A and B are shown apart, each in its own frame.
Chain A
Amino acid sequence: MLGRTLREVSAALKQGQVTPTELCQRCLSLIKKTKFLNAYITVSEEVALKQAAESEKRYKKGHSLGDLDGIPVAVKDNFSTAGIETTCASNMLKGYVPPYNATVVQKLLDQGALLMGKTNLDEFAMGSGSTDGIFGPVKNPWSYSKQYREKRKQKSHGENEDSNWLITGGSSGGSAAAVSAFTCFAALGSDTGGSTRNPAAHCGVVGLKPSYGLVSRHGLIPLVNSMDVPGILTRCVDDAAIVLGILAGHDPKDSTTIQDPVKPFALPTLTDVSKLCIGIPKEYLTPELSSEVQSLWSKAANLFESEGAKVIEVSLPHTSYSIVCYHVLCTSEVASNMARFDGLEYGHRCDIDVSTEAMYAATRREGFNDVVRGRILSGNFFLLKENYENYFVKAQKVRRLIARDFVNVFNSGVDVLLTPTTLSEAIPHTEFIREDNRTRSAQDDLFTQAVNMAGLPAVSVPMALSSQGLPVGLQFIGRAFCDQQLLTVAKWFEKRVQFPVIQLQELMDDCSSIFENEKLASVSLK
């Protein structure tokens, strides 16, 4: 049951094949068994069971709220959840319990979803590995998969199995790991520079970044106001579309959400791609791209072409400057957004009482890690009067050029762009930490952050396993507010490539009952 799609489980719930409480308990049990992944910071067991009981009552009366009623979901720990600790994996907010729900959380709860817990991330969502939070790094479930382990046995013998575990990517690594390990059906992440798509690619799940302005940011602890977007992680494209349909729409509490009416949509099944034009940005073919990812990217392009789509090379000339531009704009907005953490109204407060300035400074020193402090200081540098024009405003101008590049490409008849999501498959933690956070972010965000600067929708879809048995995902980028079209193309692709299901041995040995149910009578989908 845990391996099914949202629609299948929803149908099973309606038909009484499984109850929300059973589903909840299985997920909770799996969360406990996979605790070593460190995907969750807080597991809201009591809350989830209570929600499950209420959902069960609704199903008994035949009044289910919709496709998400009774479905276990997880939320990244930088979304405010009323009554549940929200830490952003930082000492600054450790122990902070918000008095309200983020709009997207509220929407999920209003649909009857069961909140399993808050997932782990890089501190304040700054990072590309989910390794820099105070609760420790998140481990990629694929490190423990049969597919990966078998390939490793061929290479090395007698090595300590756990010492070389792989990162999940970041910063929504906890959410990606939670979905990948079947502990929930969908998870919320956030995406500022690729933070949802990057871990999705490394963990073999679907990671959707909706168009900026489509989904409310109210309650998402902000990093970069002009680029942040709540992200959706699921095991298949259809599920992502279902969740998007629920989350999208104008929110009076977030004035940057568009006012155009938005309705939940069902993804059409595309059969004929002959009218589709796929663009391949040539500047994304960088020397750092691993040959395996490059060959899969080629293979994907050929797949579209062989089925009749038009596949053309396009140019995004300012690509090489986008990471620099992002670096300046991101640190500048961060410097501003982090100013709210002064210890007075919420969050950590130091013991110093000499003066406000002393108190603020010590609180912030104790509350933030090096990465956050580094970005605040860089941002303040770029915002100094003498630097403002040359750095901040300059970056804003370059941002326009980058956004324009995309507009030009889409105006020339391209429907969707196809690019890699990451440079390579997930790497071992020991290798990842050899470079500092900023360097890693600059490398890993290469393909993903230009999309945030232009506010476009993008989705990472797992394509195939690498020669090491690890997932590789590819990214589709769509026109602004054409999320439905983007997902339709992604769904077509997903069906063609048939990405394999992760085989988690640890779990299979203990929880064979979970997977045995797969063989039982099929569920009728209406």
Chain B
Amino acid sequence: MWVRAVWLGLRASAGGRRGFSSKADPQGSRRVTAELIEHLERLALVDFGSQEAVARLEKAIAFADRLRAVDTDGVEPMESVLEDRCLYLRSDNVVEGNCAEELLQNSHRVVEEYFVAPPGMCCPKWLNRLSHSKLRMQ
């Protein structure tokens, strides 16, 4: 993942990451491509870290594929077991709060009453390629 390039120093060459893909599964289930890996890492902001992790994902997918055998025609998805009941909504009254100091104490980097984050959109390769172009289109 590009993050490692920043704080570990680039270990593998650009082609090294392509080692993290899988052979086509003889049963025809999803092949985990390098593209998919990169995509998932970007969405999850969690990296695979090893070939083993990729293998585990493949097993997880193969496992989940067993659901295809179930006939779900005409079945509605179930989101909650309490779907027959009304969700409780509180009345719109302020009953608690004023705890900024307590909450700020848990953060590592704070300035006055702000949580401090590093700047966003700091031009990593993939971000430039994809996100900026999408933003420009909007």
The residues of A with any CB-CB pair to B shorter than 8 Å are 96-97, 99, 212-213, 226, 250, 252, 255-259, 318, 321, 324-325, 327-328, 331, 335, 342-347, 349, 351-362, 364-365, 368, 370, 373-374, 376-378, 380-382, 384, 390-391, 393-401, 403, 436, 438, 442, 453-455, 480
Question: In the complex, what residue of chain A is closest to B75 when comparing beta carbons?
Answer: A397
Q: Assess whether A255 is in contact with B99, with CB atoms less than 8 Å apart.
A: no
Q: Assess whether A358 is in contact with B44, with CB atoms less than 8 Å apart.
A: no
Q: Which B42-76 residues have C-beta < 8 A from chain A?
A: 43-49, 53, 56-57, 59-61, 63-64, 66-70, 72, 75-76
13 sampled A-B residue pairs with Cβ under 8 A: A259-B88, A324-B67, A327-B64, A344-B107, A345-B115, A355-B121, A356-B120, A358-B3, A376-B46, A377-B48, A384-B39, A395-B67, A397-B78
Across the A-B interface, give the 8 residue pairs with the lowest CB-CB distance, nearest first. Answer: A355-B122, A455-B81, A396-B77, A400-B78, A397-B72, A346-B106, A99-B102, A349-B108
A-side interface mostly: helix
A184 to B43, CA, bound (A): 43
Q: Assess whether A381 is in contact with B61, with CB atoms less than 8 Å apart.
A: yes
A234 to B6, CA, bound (A): 50
A342 to B118, CA, bound (A): 12
Q: Assess whether B75 is in contact with A401, with CB atoms less than 8 Å apart.
A: yes
Known: A352-B6, A380-B43. A357 touches B124 (CB 8 A): yes
B123 proximity list for chain A (CB < 8 A): 355
B67 proximity list for chain A (CB < 8 A): 321, 324-325, 328, 391, 394-395, 398
Q: How far is the CB of B59 from chain A (nearest CB, A)?
A: 7
Q: Assess whether B119 is in contact with A355, with CB atoms less than 8 Å apart.
A: yes
Most B Cβ at <10 Å: residue of A250, A358, A391: A358
- Within 8 Å of chain A (Cβ to Cβ): is B117? yes
Q: How far is the CB of A339 from chain B (nearest CB, A)?
A: 8
B7 proximity list for chain A (CB < 8 A): 351-352, 358, 362
Q: Assess whether B57 is in contact with A377, with CB atoms less than 8 Å apart.
A: yes
Q: Assess whether A442 is in contact with B117, with CB atoms less than 8 Å apart.
A: no
A364 to B45, CA, bound (A): 7
Q: Which B79-138 residues have C-beta < 8 A from chain A?
A: 79-82, 85, 87-90, 99, 102-103, 105-109, 115, 117-124, 127
A384 to B107, CA, bound (A): 31
A370 to B56, CA, bound (A): 10
The residues of B with any CB-CB pair to A shorter than 8 Å are 1, 3, 6-7, 36, 39-41, 43-49, 53, 56-57, 59-61, 63-64, 66-70, 72, 75-82, 85, 87-90, 99, 102-103, 105-109, 115, 117-124, 127
A331 proximity list for chain B (CB < 8 A): 60
A252 to B93, CA, bound (A): 12
Q: Assess whether B122 is in contact with A357, with CB atoms less than 8 Å apart.
A: yes
Q: Assess whether A96 is in contact with B6, with CB atoms less than 8 Å apart.
A: no
Contact of A99 among B59, B106, B118 (CB under 8 A): B106
Given A252-B90, A351-B7, A357-B124, 10 more contacts at CB 8 Å? A255-B90, A324-B67, A327-B63, A342-B45, A346-B107, A357-B122, A377-B41, A396-B78, A400-B75, A400-B77
Q: How far is the CB of A483 from chain B (nearest CB, A)?
A: 14
Q: How far is the CB of A516 from chain B (nearest CB, A)?
A: 47
A360 to B72, CA, bound (A): 39
A2 to B54, CA, bound (A): 49
Q: Assess whether B46 is in contact with A345, with CB atoms less than 8 Å apart.
A: no
A362 to B3, CA, bound (A): 7
Q: Assess whether B122 is in contact with A354, with CB atoms less than 8 Å apart.
A: yes
Q: Assess whether A361 is in contact with B1, with CB atoms less than 8 Å apart.
A: yes
Q: How far is the CB of A367 from chain B (nearest CB, A)?
A: 10
Contact of A343 among B48, B72, B76, B108 (CB under 8 A): B108
Contact of B40 among A352, A381, A403, A442 (CB under 8 A): A381
B36 proximity list for chain A (CB < 8 A): 381
Q: How far is the CB of A203 from chain B (nearest CB, A)?
A: 28
Most A Cβ at <10 Å: residue of B66, B67, B89: B67
Known: A391-B64, A400-B78. A318 touches B6 (CB 8 A): no
Q: How far is the CB of B57 from chain A (nearest CB, A)?
A: 6
Q: Assess whether A99 is in contact with B78, with CB atoms less than 8 Å apart.
A: no
Known: A99-B102, A321-B70, A438-B60. A365 touches B120 (CB 8 A): no
Q: Assess whether B60 is in contact with A256, with CB atoms less than 8 Å apart.
A: no
Q: Assess whether B118 is in contact with A359, with CB atoms less than 8 Å apart.
A: yes
A377 to B32, CA, bound (A): 12
Q: Assess whether B118 is in contact with A358, with CB atoms less than 8 Å apart.
A: yes
